[in-house]
Structure 1
Amino acid sequence: MKTRRMPCIVLCLGLIVTALLGCTHDSHSPTAAVSSLQKGSGQLTDDTADSDLSSSSYSSETIVIAAIGDSITYGKGSSGGGYPPILEQKLQAAGYNVVVLNEGISGERSPETDERFLEVIAGVDVALIMIGMNDTIVPDDDYQVINFIEAMMDKAVISKTIPLVSTVTPSDSANDYYWVNAGITYLNEQIIAAVAKRSPDVYLVDCYSAILANGGSSLFSDEIHFTDAGYDVIADEWMRVLTKEKILDNIEH
């Protein structure tokens, strides 16, 4: 029996090695993709052929917003998908023909978000970016989080998608993850500076301050995630900037 199984084992090992080699990429060089785009004409190919956008149930006149991030965007702790559906309802109630896609992935860190970013924003009008919590909880000395966030800003601008970038929300200071807030504050300072450097092409959204100003610890479902009330606060902050800056009013299809 062992002799007969040997070819299968060898084949499996070969496939594993091939897969590992194929996964090798320059994940610690977030500017590489941006540089390649800038060297060209700035035109991106339409990657929506196999995406939800190509077979959508909404019209071509609908403004498409993608909420991109980790479990806070995904909506862990909420009863209905976090802030994206709340934001969509608020915008539609205000008269906007919009859809807000939830592109949050639990546990994701900035390198992974940056890696999938161009695919996610293909065919999208507005990108809402909030990432960095997991990078702060489990830091990696091999890269700087802000580099990946800046790369996503630049990719969005080049691809004609309007980027809004949020500060990272705080952890609950009353629980075990209170120590994360020092790293979050530092990252948020970098985010604010990076957005200011790219204004008016990139817009800042301050969900960190919004949480602290509208209930703080009462809005958390655990150390870092939120209740429905907390996600409602986050949705309000995104909407405040979208409407104040008339971002959706100026989009033409």
Structure 2
Amino acid sequence: MRHLTLLLLAALAACSKPAPAPEALQTAAAPAIPADAPVILAFGDSLYAGYRLAPGEGYPPRLEAALNAAGVKARVVNAGVSGDTTAAALDRLAFTLDGQKVKPALVLVGLGGNDMLRGLPPEQTRANLDAILTELDKRHIPALLTGMLAAPNMGKDYVAAFNPIYPALAAKHKAALVPFFLQAVIGNDKLMLDDHIHPNAAGVDKIVAATKDQVTKALKAATAR
């Protein structure tokens, strides 16, 4: 599995365009968040959960800090679970949504990487993500998908079935899309943990800088409804 992971990361690095240098994230004390600020629910796997990072260093808290520092008032709730497949996430979706104190204005959906690493059938990944987005549609909650890419060494058929999942589902459900969540860090060991899978704290900041504008656009569209 580790050998497969290393091949995966090398392959993704080879097929990725160089990431633009992110803007510096504000390090001063974060401004107070209004009690009525819209809630963004980050529903995903370890890439949201903050795997092996200190409190406050994961994607949801760093995204929240960056948005509010830019004048975009929002509260980001971390609903990431390390190791989650799309099937496991689908099983906990209703419970997670029902347990929120405030109905989310936007849900970030970041899943599928574990499906791919385990070689699960892409049609199952597609069906589970479709069901997650359908449930959000039923609840009238807009979504933003943060996508994954399959490594070429998974085989041409697997790549051809897996990679179109995210743009196709984003179009079907009228969801916003970040095509590849790890675009800003993949292939750069200085931005990754020693497992070569998860970003370190500096890598998280790079991802935040690369995705903040898309999240802002999606949140503004959601709150304008």
Aligned to 1:251: 223
Asked if 1:70 corresponds to 2:42, the answer is no
Aligned to 1:161: 141
Question: Identical aligned pairs, as a percentage?
Answer: 25
Deviates more, 1:223-232 or 1:124-133: 223-232
Gaps of 5+ in 2: 1-32
Q: Structure 1 residue 179: deviation in Å?
A: 4.7
Aligned to 2:27: none
CA contact (8 A) 1:68 1:127 kept: yes
Aligned to 1:136: 116
Aligned residue identity for 2:40: I
CA contact (8 A) 1:66 1:120 kept: no
Provide TM-score, normalisation by structure 2.
0.70
Aligned residue identity for 2:136: A
Aligned residues: 186
Higher relative contact order (CA 8 A, sep 6+): 2
Closer/same/farther in 2, CA of residues 113 and 151 from structure 1, 3 Å limit: same
Larger Rg: 1
Q: Could you give the per-residue CA deviations for residues 131-178 of structure 1, whole angstroms, max 9, x where no partner exists?
A: 11111122345961111111111211221111000112788xxxxxx9
Closer/same/farther in 2, CA of residues 235 and 186 from structure 1, 3 Å limit: farther
Q: Could you give the per-residue CA deviations for residues 84-113 of structure 1, whole angstroms, max 9, x where no partner exists?
A: 100000111112221111111111111110
Asked if 1:223 corresponds to 2:196, the answer is yes
Asked if 1:125 corresponds to 2:105, the answer is yes
Q: Could you tell me which of 60, 64, 70 is aligned with 1:84?
A: 60
Distance in 2 (CA, whole Å) between partners of 1:99 and 1:147 is 30
Provide TM-score, normalisation by structure 1.
0.63
Distance in 2 (CA, whole Å) between partners of 1:234 and 1:142 is 25
**Equivalent residue of 2:163, what SS?**
helix
Q: Could you tell me which of 105, 110, 134 is aligned with 2:86?
A: 110
CA contact (8 A) 1:65 1:100 kept: yes
Aligned to 1:195: 170
CA contact (8 A) 1:121 1:127 kept: no
Asked if 1:100 corresponds to 2:82, the answer is no
CA contact (8 A) 1:91 1:239 kept: yes
CA contact (8 A) 2:166 2:179 kept: no
Aligned to 2:177: 204
CA contact (8 A) 1:66 1:127 kept: yes
Gaps of 5+ in 1: 1-56, 172-177
**Equivalent residue of 1:210, what SS?**
coil
Closer/same/farther in 2, CA of residues 169 and 120 from structure 1, 3 Å limit: farther
Aligned residue identity for 2:197: I
CA contact (8 A) 1:125 1:161 kept: yes
**Equivalent residue of 1:88, what SS?**
helix
Aligned-residue CA RMSD in angstroms?
3.1
Closer/same/farther in 2, CA of residues 246 and 167 from structure 1, 3 Å limit: closer
Distance in 2 (CA, whole Å) between partners of 1:95 and 1:181 is 45
